[in-house]
Homo-oligomer: A and B are copies of this chain.
Amino acid sequence: MPAHRIAVIAGDGIGNEVMPEGLRVVEAAARRFNIDLQFTTMAWANCDYYLEHGQMMPSDWFAQLKDFDAIYFGAVGWPDKVPDHISLWGSLLKFRREFDEYVNLRPVRLMPGVPCPLANKKPGDIDFYVVRENTEGEYSSVGGRMFEGTERETVLQESVFTRKGVDRILKYAFELAQSRPKKHLTSATKSNGIAISMPYWDERVEAMGPSFPDVRWDKYHIDILAARFVLSPERFDVVVASNLFGDILSDLGPACTGTIAIAPSANINPERTFPSVFEPVHGSAPDIYGQNIANPIGMIWSGAMMLDFLGNGDANYTAAHDAIVRAIEQVLEHGPRTPDMGGSASTTDVGMAVAELL
């Protein structure tokens, strides 16, 4: 295969600490599996850049990034410098939308060596995917205020669901379910309370079901679904959800498997018309930044997902992905561990340990 061009954006806070370890491991895997990667680092898409330039990214960000094959992304946000809705809407959420990365894929897996907050669970018991719609729905900056600053102040916030947007994420999720042994899909809804958009979501699931006769599907309201993540996580296989519900479930799922610090995610444009973004689920964590104690596993695992995506089915790339995941499992089981996992190793120690196993 030709070289893959990857843009590297560390972002804010611990994004800058975990990124070098992600790169270390991805490069080690690339060497071992003879994969040709070219990295280009972008110094923007962070809150310091915003303070200097009044925007999160240069005006030609789209042109600068659009021809990359992937973006390896740390974390954005530093609320004391820039309000979150400005920093995120000015970077990550722009990528998701303007590069049409409509699938946010998030594995939820109980790994060996990670103390599970749920009682009586062992590795293997929890192993599913959250497939999150990533471009529309509840994440919207459409709306506004009326009677501003008065007692009558009223704020309207629009959610927007389109047939195109809903159907393509459902199709991706049904296909993913179909490819797995259990062939089970769960749809997250809230059609009993949110009376316009969620009944529509349910209708589209209903309409697509018959095209996948071998997939068993069910639906749960988000409140009870969240409860079931805690009470019976082993029953899930693929969970498909709107932007907001997927966001909640893909933090809650990893929490049920011990920590969100190790959870990876992929923001995928399945048609590959634009680059996809690979980022850990955790954020920029300003409170622990600067001590080199952040857990780099989420960043590293996201790198593994990136290699798998770049291979597009090629067995060598899948092997590279699997090798990284196995190395992660070994380090989780035998250490070194960062303080959040009860150890005293640094971010660098953990990254080097994973890289060494490759």
Would you call A243 and B193 a contact (CB within 8 A)? yes
CB neighbors of B among A196-216 (8 A): 196-200
Would you call B117 and A116 a contact (CB within 8 A)? no
Q: Which residue of B lies closest to A250 (CB)?
A: B223
Whether a CB of chain B sits under 8 angstroms from the CB of A89 is yes
Question: Helix, strand, loop or mixed for chain A's interface?
Answer: mixed
Residues 264-298 of chain A: 1 if any B CB is under 8 Å from the residue's CB, otherwise 0?
00000000000000000001000000000000000
B-side contacts of A161, CB under 8 Å: 154-155, 157
Complex Cα–Cα for A256 and B255 (A):
12
Of the residues B85, B196, B223, contact of A156 by C-beta under 8 Å: B196
Known interface pairs A151-B164, A160-B156, A195-B89; A256-B244 also in contact (CB < 8 Å): no
CB neighbors of B among A113-131 (8 A): 115-119
Complex Cα–Cα for A164 and B77 (A):
31
Residues 130-169 of chain A: 1 if any B CB is under 8 Å from the residue's CB, otherwise 0?
0000000011111111000011111111111111100000
Would you call A138 and B260 a contact (CB within 8 A)? no
Known interface pairs A155-B161, A162-B154; A222-B248 also in contact (CB < 8 Å): yes
Whether a CB of chain B sits under 8 angstroms from the CB of A42 is no
B-side contacts of A159, CB under 8 Å: 143, 156-159
Complex Cα–Cα for A89 and B283 (A):
37
Whether a CB of chain B sits under 8 angstroms from the CB of A254 is yes
Min Cβ gap A237→B in Å is: 20
Of the residues B138, B141, B153, B247, contact of A163 by C-beta under 8 Å: B153
Nearest first, the 5 closest Cβ-Cβ pairs linking A and B are A227-B255, A84-B192, A157-B197, A153-B163, A143-B196
27 contacts between A and B (CB under 8 A): A85-B192, A88-B192, A117-B119, A118-B118, A118-B230, A138-B194, A140-B194, A140-B196, A141-B196, A143-B197, A145-B196, A151-B163, A152-B163, A155-B160, A155-B161, A155-B162, A155-B197, A157-B160, A157-B197, A190-B247, A193-B247, A223-B248, A226-B252, A226-B255, A227-B251, A227-B260, A230-B255
